[in-house]
Amino acid sequence: MTALPEQATTLEAEVARRRTFAIISHPDAGKTTLTEKLLLYGGAIEVAGAVRSRRAGRHTTSDWMAIEQSRGISITSTVLQFEYEGFCLNLLDTPGHEDFSEDTYRTLAATDSAVMVLDSAKGIEPQTRKLFEVCRMRQIPIICFINKLDHPGRDPFDLIAEIERELHVNAMPVNWPIGNGPNFQGVFDLRTREVLRFERTSHGAHIAPVTVSGLQDPQLEDMLGPTATTDLREAAELLEGAGTNFDHDEFAHGRLIPVFFGSAINNFGVEPFLRAILEFAPAPVSRGGVDPCDPTFTGFVFKIQANMDKRHRDRLAFMRVTSGVFEKDMLVHHTRLDREVRMTRPHRLFARERETIERAYPGDVIGFVNPGLFRIGDAVSSGAPVQFERIPRFAPEHFGMLRAKQVTRQKQFQKGLEQLEEEGVMQVLTLHEGLKSEPILAVVGELQFDVLRSRLETEYDVETTINVLPYKIARWVDRDVDEVAKMTLPSKSRLAVDTDGKPVVLFTSSWELEYAEKENPGVVFSSAS
């Protein structure tokens, strides 16, 4: 494992001991379960499901929203910071469902590496492939955890071959499963040549006891059984001759993926994987030409989240520290606003839990109570103004007219729309023909409509109805809205404006978009504002 730098308070030492990584997967691959078990082994929780806190009865899961818990899916990304063996880990759990992929993409902009979770029975799935391509585009190194070995799954050699074939990378197995399904007993570490045999605990809530032995141990067959022992020895011999050697440069550029096998639900292979994250995942790297060890503090906002604290109903801006040392109450330059702002009330985050901090270092994700001061993509600096790579906005594909059931709740309705749009989960449009018409919600995935209605009801006490509209495409036009209104557009299309007053044309089909482009030469119809 990577040696920890000598204990010091220097900026370089703090950067060297940090690991900031996201966990990504196709839905139902076990991403959230693995997240919770990493916290268990990292000492951040004592029993899977309960936060180590003075306030008993707090439940931890990265899925803290009511709708996440009721549906059993991740809807919003979550930040979990914890210490392990002298390292400071910033774990960012992300939604797996494609309807919430925009949040995942934004979160990946704030990470230095990613953990890709695969289901051993399914291998590479569509959302896995999409997320991998984002990591490749951003040159984010990936470590793979093949999960659910406690269920019948595919041949491990087949899974390794599929990763290489489908993702066009080299896959380097670091350990190998011993059995599978009900016969899954542990893993064989291919580097240390150790057999790690785990014991099941009640509901996987506690750390699994492990027995360590060698491949030539005469008692191995008695422990594993003759079939599992023979299969393991044959696999180890094959892998020793054909295994891929680790190349740090290839890994850093996303061309080599270390692969681990395990069962998150049973805690099998979780601790070796956590130690591997410390070893393989890089410390914070340069961003936008800014070295993390530069003494000038810089950071950027990649996420806004409303109503994490039920008592205060505030909004929190998530900021990635990119260089220097952040200190509470420091004065910084806000690039978009082009003015100085004071950074008060900074928080360390652990899902919805938060605590005030005095300082933070590159790689850390800190939260600020945000009274409309920050937007996604904003950059700050204690020195000269900085600007980082733009965080992309997805083009919406689903549209609906939203109404509050009770007219008396109109004020709360408008507040909810304003704050939820600030999070980036949807865009609010208004038809140009009638600026007092009901708002049109524009979202990337249809499931977001259900989430928005649920959140408006639970967080703002507003019941709503939604009328799904026939539009499929939204395109922004960088011209005055009255000028766009005079253009030749298809009869079924509609002109709307976003909350910044910028014109956006809604089309029901790609044919309509092509017609508008043909009839208006020289006009650019953009997928984002």
Whose CA is closest to 259, among 436, 122, 251?
251
- The position carrying tokens 């070995």 is 149
Question: Domain residues of the chain, as ranges?
Answer: 1-17+284-391, 23-74+113-280, 398-526
User: What's the pLDDT at 48?
Assistant: 57
Query: In sequence order, which residues have a C-beta less than 8 Å from that of residue 383 and are 6 or more positions away?
Result: 296, 297, 298, 333
Whose CA is closest to 273, among 84, 82, 140?
84
The per-residue pLDDT for range 61-88, each reduced to its tens digit, is: 444 445 444 544 444 567 889 999 999 9
209 vs 434, which has greater pLDDT? 209
pTM over 0.85: no
Would you place residue 203 in the very low, low, confident or very high pLDDT band (cuts 50, 70, 90)? Answer: low
User: Tokens at residue 452, please?
Assistant: 């928005």
Q: Which amino acid is at 288?
A: G
Same topology, domains 1-17+284-391 and 398-526? Answer is: no
Q: Which helix (H) or strand (E) holds 210?
A: strand 210-214
Q: Which amino acid is at 73?
A: I
> How do 256-261 and 339-342 pair as beta strands?
unpaired
The per-residue pLDDT for range 362-373, each reduced to its tens digit, is: 999 999 887 778
Query: In sequence order, which residues have a C-beta less than 8 Å from that of residue 498 and are 6 or more positions away?
Result: 427, 428, 429, 476, 504, 529
Would you place residue 38 in the very low, low, confident or very high pLDDT band (cuts 50, 70, 90)? Answer: very high
What does the pLDDT average to over 456-471? 91
Contact 424, 304 (CB under 8 A): yes
Fold of 398-526: Alpha-Beta Plaits (3.30.70)
Under CATH, to which class is 1-17+284-391 assigned? alpha beta
Q: Which amino acid is at 308?
A: M
The per-residue pLDDT for range 474-528, each reduced to its tens digit, is: 999 999 999 999 999 999 999 999 988 999 999 999 999 999 999 999 999 998 7
The per-residue pLDDT for range 379-432, each reduced to its tens digit, is: 999 999 999 988 877 778 899 998 999 989 999 999 888 888 888 778 899 998
Does the pLDDT at position 9 exceed 90?
A: no
Fold of 23-74+113-280: Rossmann fold (3.40.50)
